[in-house]
Amino acid sequence: MDDLASLFARIGRSAFRSRFRLNAKEQDYLAVRGLDTFLAHGQDFIAQRLAPALPLNDGTQTPMRGHPVFVAQHATATCCRTCLAKWHGIGAGQWLSAQEQGYFVAVIKHWLRDRQP
């Protein structure tokens, strides 16, 4: 797991990861509900969809749009176990520890905080 500055420098060089933006509806949703609400959602999404050693529908479990956390997960490569392995060095086949899950929530928080209206 990288420090956030190093991770975001690498992600910034990825054409795919750099293209993710919150649309107006997602920005409004974030503004109305607040960052803390979405971090709680992010914790739940990570615990349910990424933490298992072999997640159900891995690679397709995170929609591309419809929720600010989903967009943040794709922008930060915290969307599936393949991306966790490639970008964060966390391989499949093992449950994510509480520390690892907390790291991914911090990554999502960093990305969303920079995009708050």
> What's the pLDDT band for 2 if we cut at 50, 70, 90?
low
What pLDDT does residue 117 have? 63
Amino acid found at 56 = L
Amino acid found at 104 = F
Dump pLDDT digits (tens) for 29-56. 889 999 999 999 999 999 999 999 988 8
The DSSP code for 69 is H
pTM: 0.91
Ordered by start, the domain boundaries in the chain are: 4-113
Calculate Rg over the CA atoms of the chain. Answer: 13
Tell me how crowded residue 41 is: count the other CB atoms within 10 A of its CB.
16
Q: How many CA atoms lie within 13 A of 68 on its CB side?
A: 30
What pLDDT does residue 4 have? 87
**Two tokens at 80?**
């599936």
Of 57 and 111, more confident: 111
**Two tokens at 35?**
């960052």
